[in-house]
Amino acid sequence: MEKEDLSEIMRQHPFLAGLSFEHMQTLIGCATNVRFADNATIIQEGQIANKFYLIRSGRIALQMDVPGKESLRIQTVGPGEILGWSWLISPYRWHFSAIAVLDTRAIALDGECLRNKCEKECSFGYEMLRRLSQVMERRLEATRLQLIDLYDLTTSGAKR
Amino acid sequence: MMRKSQALEANALDPMTTHPVMIRKIIWENDDTFTLTLDMSGFAGGFRFLPGQFNMVYVYGVGEAAVSISSDPARPGTLDHTIHRVGLVTTSLAQKKRGDMIGIRGPFGSSWSIDVARGKDICIASGGIGLAPLRPVIYSLLKKREDFGRIIVLYGGRSPLDLLYRVELEKWASDANVEVLVTVDRGDSSWKGHIGVVTSLFQYIKLDARETVAYVCGPEIMMKYTIDELDRRGVPQSQTYLSMERNMKCAVGFCGHCQFGPTFICKEGPVYPLPRVRHLLDRKEL
């Protein structure tokens, strides 16, 4: 895919909305277009985290491997969302696995390439971190809600 | 539209008198939740109610529970109640069989304001058994599909096996020009749908906020976060409605069991315009 096409696709992704032209150019140098078939393993828990994905279409399930049991699916991410931030945080290893549950298209960004650019260019690094923090905050809030177990009526006030 | 007092009058019922009705069918929606279909042919012209209203369902010798009506208002010959087995009365109801008799009185309470949604988009956000009191609205909207803009149904459940009305959800999505997004808190490898809380579904829909009417029903904490999400997207509070739940006894505003701030849910609720109760949602132990 031509860099101009990639740039256009990336510009439309909500995670990059409003990103400056210069920062976009910095990102494009680390980007490739990827496609995952249904059931493909995208990320394996414990492996080196060297990628960051901007999802364009499809659906990906995040799951944790539980010894002696079936893997536990904890969240899905879809079009307009991102997958993976462990590339940014030492020790750069995935804390979960990710499986495509539908045919999925995404832009893959090379984690090491991105890290190097974040180190060299502080304003770019800040912009990436700022955007990732917003995603982390939303996901933390959602995780808290999941922990509450909203639908457990045995603990609600209305026992009839 | 028929008002709530008219609904009672239409059935010519004394609100304090329990009427015996026969269970025509029982469908188990999941391990703990079942839908009772009641034969209402004993009521002249069937049993009239408005979407969002509830009945007091009585198990003879055991007790009474408030249960939302979950069937189609346009089919008054039968009445559905979807019930979660959680306490003494609902556990007794779960043991009933086809042909058994139970008692009902009602219908009680306020209804979803469908007229205000005419010409507008409608966003229905529900969680768990909260889809039950919204199902009559969906039936009513679909009867006059051309009168409304987009109809979006967001529904969250604990797990795929806990979801209610799965066949109907699929039917609405495929046949009725309804955008249906379903999510579960916990999935397994066979589940290809969304996993995450119901509020996470908002990121997949684009709302024309000023032209959207929202109906919300589910656990209170879920409604609180859903309302925050609707606020963030600019849906006016005056166009948002929610259904509240509390233990009820008399259902006619005498006993005070269902007091919610300055209102009795059995009379003024269960369906409220958001501005009426917004300030009460953050209060502890109310």
What integer is the mean pLDDT of B200-224?
Answer: 93
Kind and range of the H or E element at B11? helix B4-11
* Test mutation, B31, B57, B183, B200, chain A, max A CBs within 10 A: B200
Based on the number of CB atoms within 10 Å of its own CB, is A113 exposed (0-12), middle (13-18) or buried (19 or more)?
A: middle
% residues pLDDT > 90 (chain A): 71
Cβ neighbours of A123 (radius 10 Å) = 12
Q: Is the confidence at residue A155, as pLDDT, over 60?
A: no
- What b/e string do you get for A28-62 counting C-beta neighbours within 10 Å, with b at 16 or more? eebbeeeebeeeeebbeeeeebbbbbbbbebbbbb
- pLDDT at res. B149: 95
- pLDDT at res. A154: 53
Chain A to chain B Cβ contacts (< 8 Å): 94
Q: Nearest Cα to B241, choosing from B278, B189, B284?
A: B278
- pLDDT at res. B10: 61
Q: Nearest Cα to B120, choosing from B241, B266, B220, B224?
A: B241
The conformation of residue B95, written as its DSSP 8-state character, comes to T
Give the β-pairing of A60-64 and A72-77.
Answer: antiparallel
B195 vs A73, A80, A158: nearest CB: A73
Q: Which residues pair with B259 in a beta bridge?
A: B264
**Of B208 and A69, more confident:** B208
Place of tokens 């929610």: B242
Contact at 8 Å (CB) between B126 and B134?
yes
- pLDDT at res. B2: 46
What integer is the mean pLDDT of A87-106?
Answer: 94
- Strands (E) across B139-185 are located at 151-157, 179-184
Contact A76 B128 (CB under 8 A): no
What is the C-alpha to C-alpha distance for residues A90 and B179, in angstroms, rounded to an integer? 41
- pLDDT at res. B138: 96
Q: Is the confidence at residue B40, as pLDDT, over 90?
A: yes
Domains of chain A from N-terminus onward: 3-149 (2.60.120.10)
What is the C-alpha to C-alpha distance for residues A98 and A77, in angstroms, rounded to an integer? 10
Q: Is the confidence at residue A92, as pLDDT, over 70?
A: yes
Place of tokens 């008198």: B17
The model's confidence at residue A41, banded by pLDDT at 50, 70 and 90, is very high
User: What residues contact residue A68 under an 8 Å CB cut-off, 6+ apart?
Assistant: none
- pLDDT at res. B174: 87
Q: Is the confidence at residue B167, as pLDDT, over 50?
A: yes
The model's confidence at residue A129, banded by pLDDT at 50, 70 and 90, is very high
- pLDDT at res. B7: 59
**Of A16 and B245, more confident:** A16
- Tell me, what amino acid is at A32? T
- pLDDT at res. A157: 42
User: What residues contact residue A100 under an 8 Å CB cut-off, 6+ apart?
Assistant: A36, A37, A38, A39, A40, A42, A58, A59, A60
- pLDDT at res. A151: 81
The model's confidence at residue A81, banded by pLDDT at 50, 70 and 90, is very high
Q: Is the confidence at residue A158, as pLDDT, over 50?
A: no
Contact B199 A152 (CB under 8 A): no
Contact A74 B192 (CB under 8 A): no
Å between A119 CA and nearest CA of chain B: 31
**Per-residue pLDDT reduced to its tens digit, B218-257:** 998 899 999 999 999 999 999 999 998 888 888 888 888 8
The model's confidence at residue A118, banded by pLDDT at 50, 70 and 90, is very high
What integer is the mean pLDDT of A20-29?
Answer: 93
Q: Which residues of A touch B204 (CB under 8 A)?
A: 78-80
Q: Nearest Cα to A86, choosing from A136, A142, A160?
A: A136
A151 vs B90, B128, B203: nearest CB: B128
Q: What is the ipTM of this complex?
A: 0.86
Say if B148 is an interface residue toward chain A (CB within 8 Å): no
Considering chain B, what is the average pLDDT of its residues? 91
* Test mutation, B64, B89, B194, chain A, max A CBs within 10 A: B194
Contact at 8 Å (CB) between B184 and B164?
no
What is the C-alpha to C-alpha distance for residues A53 and B107, in angstroms, rounded to an integer? 52
A29 SS3 class: coil
Considering chain A, what is the average pLDDT of its residues? 89
- Tell me, what amino acid is at A150? L
**Per-residue pLDDT reduced to its tens digit, B174-194:** 877 899 999 999 888 889 999
Domains of chain B from N-terminus onward: 4-108 (2.40.30.10), 115-243 (3.40.50.80)
Place of tokens 């690094």: A125
What integer is the mean pLDDT of A50-75?
Answer: 91
Cβ neighbours of B191 (radius 10 Å) = 18
- Strands (E) across B60-133 are located at 63-68, 78-84, 101-108, 121-127
**Per-residue pLDDT reduced to its tens digit, B55-67:** 999 999 999 999 9
Q: Is the confidence at residue B6, as pLDDT, over 90?
A: no
Q: Of chain B residues 66-85, which have a CB less than 8 A from chain A?
A: 66-67, 84
What is the C-alpha to C-alpha distance for residues B95 and A98, in angstroms, rounded to an integer? 43
